[in-house]
Amino acid sequence: MTLKYFFFIKLLGLLMLLLTVGCQSKTEVASKTAFQGPISIGTWNVPEATSAAYQVLSEGGSAIDAVEAGCRLEEANEQGQSIGKGGLPDREGQVTLDACIMDSHGNSGSVVYLKNIVHAVSVARKVMEETPHVMLAGAGAKQFAIEQGFPVEDLLTDRSKADWEKWKETSLYKPIINIENHDTIGMLALDENGDLSGACTTSGLAYKMAGRVGDSPIIGAGLYVDNEIGAATATGLGEEIVKNVGSFLIVELMRQGKSPQEACEIAINRIVERTGERSKDFQVGFIALNKKGEYGAYAIHPGFSVTKHDASGNQNIPSPSYNQ
């Protein structure tokens, strides 16, 4: 081997090394710049909730604290008749709450058929953090909440009681599409560390059968979070969401490379295809968020919306839908 050839080989090796390092640096920069910064999103027109969540995020707080803060605000709002205090009761006149929460580590907590406790989402978090269980129900959930220091109070307001009394005149039970343009609140957040969390809370369908539970407290149906991929949450007729394990489906679609928007659309299309003509009589909406801070929203019918709060501001955005 000549000296000239030897130096040529060494030079070629050095160039290959530099090219490799250069490519790695570009990849690292791309992965860093892909993250859009903290963001909170929620189902329906909930600017106060997304603002509360984003406040936590902007101060360096965690995504799990953010979604809990946003949901708690809505639970305490007596004017919203589908969440927390002031929620419309079941046909027996009982206000019962369902909620779940899921953090970036895959931990989750849930409560179903909870009575006389306003902040169901916080009880769900206590289930996640203070017990070996995922879900507590009914009297057991209430007793646990009391033991954790949550106050007991009547959740049926005069307004909701009057509406229930009026409903009893006909006792007609039929889910109403986009009732008051709001029902369940589902929230997703991405914090400055790039961690995802989600929460979902509701008082369920108005005038439901006593004991009815929908999708909202069901991990995989009303909410699912995979910190490697993304998160999704649902609203609408819970029975149809449960049958399709909607939120889990959306996250798995994102795992396969779909954007949050594409994943939401596929999930809605599947529900419509499976229910056929029946889908004209009920609403389902999904929102999703990935690790980059990209979000999506889609529903069966017009009227659904997503509220987004990030560095650009707090805004409510109409969701596209299957039926225009």
The CATH number assigned to the domain holding 119 equals 3.60.20.30
Domain-embedded: residue 8 = no
Domain-embedded: residue 155 = yes
Domain-embedded: residue 7 = no
Number of domains in the chain: 1
For the chain, what is the mean pLDDT?
89
- 137-167 burial by CB neighbour count: b if 16+ within 10 A, else e? beeebbebbeeeebeeeebbbeebbebbeeb
- Calculate the dihedral angle through the C-alpha atoms of 200, 205, 207, 212, rounding to the nearest 10 degrees: -70
Domain-embedded: residue 101 = yes
Structure tokens at 320: 């596209």
184 catalytic per annotation: yes
Give tens-digit pLDDT for 29-39. Answer: 223 336 888 99
What's the pLDDT at 10? 47
pLDDT of residue 26 exceeding 50: no
Distances (CA, A) of 194 to 108, 258, 291: 19, 19, 7
Domain-embedded: residue 32 = no
pLDDT of residue 309 exceeding 80: yes
What's the pLDDT at 25? 30
What's the pLDDT at 5? 45
Residue-number span of the structural domain to which 111 is assigned: 37-318
Tokens 């560095």 belong to which residue? 311
Domain-embedded: residue 25 = no
Domain-embedded: residue 18 = no
- What percentage of residues in the chain have a pLDDT greater than 90? 82
Active-site position among 96, 184, 201, 202 = 184
Domain-embedded: residue 109 = yes
Higher confidence at residue 294 or residue 173?
294
Record the pTM.
Answer: 0.88
Give tens-digit pLDDT for 131-188. Answer: 999 999 999 999 999 999 999 999 999 999 999 999 999 888 766 676 544 468 999 9
Closest CA to 308 of 247, 256, 261: 261
